[in-house]
Amino acid sequence: MNQHLLQEKPTTQHADEVVKVAVAHGDGIGPEIMDATLKILMASGANIEPEPINLGEKVYLAGNSAGIDQAAWKTIKQNKIIFKAPITTPQGKGYKSLNVTLRKSLGLYSNVRPVASLHPYVHTHFPNMDVVIIRENEEDLYAGIEHQQTTDVVQCLKLITRPGCEKIVRYAFEYANAYGRKKVTCMLKDNIMKLTDGLFHKVFDEIAVEYPHIKAETQIIDIGAARLAANPEAYDVVVTSNLYGDIISDIAAEIAGSVGMAGSANIGSEVAMFEAIHGSAPDIAGQNIANPSGLINAAVMMLAHIGKTEIADRIKNAWLTTMEEGYHTADVYQKDVSTKKVSTSEFADRVIANLGQKPQKLSASVLDKGKGNISIPTYTRKKEEQVLVGVDVFINWQGADPEQIGESLSQIDAYKMKLKMITNRGVKVYPNGLPETYCTDHWRCRFVADNAVTDYKNLSYEPIVYEQVIALLSRLNNEGWEVIKTENLYEFDGRRGFSLGQGE
């Protein structure tokens, strides 16, 4: 453990006590699979007391654009554990994704999605696949900060934070440790995004050394996703940022056999939420044919999380036994392999009948006490010296010739700053651009101190003061340039805190 990080209070162990859980029955197939799963939970001796909460389609359509009411928030805050069936987000303007709202407002930073094949009982090309995707759940492009800046250009901010990276990477290693996993693979695109994905990679390297018994590797996300799809059996735990994790966890679930099978956990330091990875499947709602397995597996993860590991094993083994017997819902039914095509409720009844059984061929679940108990230290900020060394001024200009805007801005009295370069979509177009480069109406104009050292490797920029930036902006405005945004350029402890222009 990193000594500069404080220990957070660990998850309480609830092996035998009654645990109250906020339960959302959801929309579409939600109520059917939730009833089936709760019936199993009640029969298993889990000592769970469900407290229903109101969220989803009905709440949206009643005019609440967040899809969740105040009473539900209160129950969630009291119970700290949410068990949620899928909900339908109505199409149309103004409805915010309830999942994103819950994840971000409750600080559910880690999205854990285990995907294992059940060969030969569920059809898959990968009989030995057993992967856990651990996806960062709060930041990255999902921060949802988007702006249109000019006629040509819209922007989405990708926010990656050190506390976010430290929490998710440590969670991945702690998870591997707790569940006896051997390898953690980190997938990123830091060859392109050197600062954002680069930070994630750096934190991964820093934390990996604290777990010498777990193999650590990094892969660029494009080849990583391709290899995961082609050879998933080579992977164990995969940790990645929000968008990549969203994509690769669907790939993993799909190639393992059925989206109806996988459960997921959204873990925060105070609250945790458990759900199936699939949606509300309106196409089969109300027919009692949906596969409740995704939600059953989510329930197993919930029980492990609250320290009820024995009951988690009991349910998981009864479920594995049922799958092995060939009692299959329509989505995974195969004529040659299955023995009986069952409804949602028949499947649940069979799992209940199998409580106490262990699978014969599939490996049985064995969670030691405390296995679900992962605690992540609180982040402590290490302050860096932050020095202003310049400004990128983004200008909306309808002209086409970089030389024209470049020459013009070079003449401006820039308060002891000078124009260093101009880029368009990140590519340097002034000075010495190429005539082939296509230019939009969105020009990034970099101003640094007059006597700034131009050798970037020898990082000693001349500091400037913010008054110079304000004066420069005022001058640009007076001369008719339309400034649409600025980004300050900083050094942090003498390290450049901004990327260079391509071709700079």
| Residues contributing to the site for ligand NAI (CB under 6 A) | 29, 86-89, 99, 259-260, 275, 278-284, 290-291, 294, 331
The count of residues interacting with Mg ion (CB under 5 A) is 1
Least Å distance, CB 290 to ligand NAI, is 4
89 binds, among ligand NAI, Mg ion, none (CB under 5 to 8 A by kind): ligand NAI
Residue 325 in the binding site for Mg ion (CB under 5 A) = no
β-pairing, 442-449 vs 417-424, is antiparallel
215: left (phi over 0), alpha (psi -120 to 50) or beta: beta
Q: How far, CA to CA in Å, does 452 sit from each of 60, 185, 408, 423?
A: 55, 41, 20, 19
Cα 309 to Cα 311: distance, rounded to the nearest angstrom: 5
Q: Give the residue with the Cβ less far from ligand NAI, 135 or 428.
A: 135
Q: Give the residue with the Cβ less far from ligand NAI, 134 or 289.
A: 289
Cα 441 to Cα 476: distance, rounded to the nearest angstrom: 17
Q: Give the residue with the Cβ less far from ligand NAI, 199 or 281.
A: 281
Q: Give the residue with the Cβ less far from Mg ion, 236 or 246.
A: 246
Least Å distance, CB 41 to ligand NAI, is 17
Q: Give the residue with the Cβ less far from ligand NAI, 158 or 278.
A: 278
246 binds, among ligand NAI, Mg ion, none (CB under 5 to 8 A by kind): Mg ion
Q: Give the residue with the Cβ less far from ligand NAI, 290 or 301.
A: 290
Least Å distance, CB 497 to Mg ion, is 32
Q: Which stretch binds Mg ion (CB under 5 A): 13-21, 146-154, 241-249, 295-303?
A: 241-249
How would you label 203-234 residue by residue, b for 16+ Cβ within 10 Å and e otherwise? bbeebbeebeebebebbebeebbeebeeebee
Q: Give the residue with the Cβ less far from ligand NAI, 25 or 446.
A: 25
β-pairing, 272-276 vs 81-84, is parallel
Sites for Mg ion among residues 475-504 (CB under 5 A): none
According to DSSP H, which parts of 182-220 are helical?
196-208
Does residue 192 sit in helix, strand or coil? coil
Structure-token match 């696949």, residue found: 129
Least Å distance, CB 262 to Mg ion, is 12
Least Å distance, CB 203 to Mg ion, is 24
280 binds, among Mg ion, ligand NAI, none (CB under 5 to 8 A by kind): ligand NAI
291 binds, among ligand NAI, Mg ion, none (CB under 5 to 8 A by kind): ligand NAI
Least Å distance, CB 247 to Mg ion, is 8
Q: Give the residue with the Cβ less far from ligand NAI, 189 or 278.
A: 278
Are 483 and 395 within 8 A, CB to CB?
yes
Least Å distance, CB 275 to Mg ion, is 12
DSSP codes of every residue in 372-417: T----PBP------EEEEEEEEEEE-----HHHHHHHHHTS--SSE
278 binds, among Mg ion, ligand NAI, none (CB under 5 to 8 A by kind): ligand NAI
Least Å distance, CB 333 to ligand NAI, is 11
Least Å distance, CB 426 to Mg ion, is 28
Cα 170 to Cα 4: distance, rounded to the nearest angstrom: 14
DSSP codes of every residue in 439-501: --SEEEEEEEETT----TTS--PPP--HHHHHHHHHHHHHTT-EEEEEEEEEEETTEE-SPPP
Least Å distance, CB 99 to ligand NAI, is 5
Cα 131 to Cα 369: distance, rounded to the nearest angstrom: 22
Q: Give the residue with the Cβ less far from Mg ion, 244 or 397.
A: 244
160 binds, among Mg ion, ligand NAI, none (CB under 5 to 8 A by kind): none
β-pairing, 386-396 vs 442-449, is antiparallel
Cα 298 to Cα 277: distance, rounded to the nearest angstrom: 9
Taking CB under 5 A as the criterion, the residue among 166, 246, 324, 325 binding Mg ion is 246
Q: Give the residue with the Cβ less far from ligand NAI, 29 or 448.
A: 29
> Sheet of 495-496: strands edge to edge?
427-430, 417-424, 442-449, 386-396, 482-492, 495-496
86 binds, among Mg ion, ligand NAI, none (CB under 5 to 8 A by kind): ligand NAI
Are 249 and 110 within 8 A, CB to CB?
no
Which residues make Cβ contacts (< 8 Å) with residue 341, sequence separation at least 6?
A: 328, 329, 330, 333
What track of x and - describes contact with Mg ion for positions 75 through 114 (by CB under 5 A)?
----------------------------------------
Positions that interact with Mg ion (CB under 5 A):
246
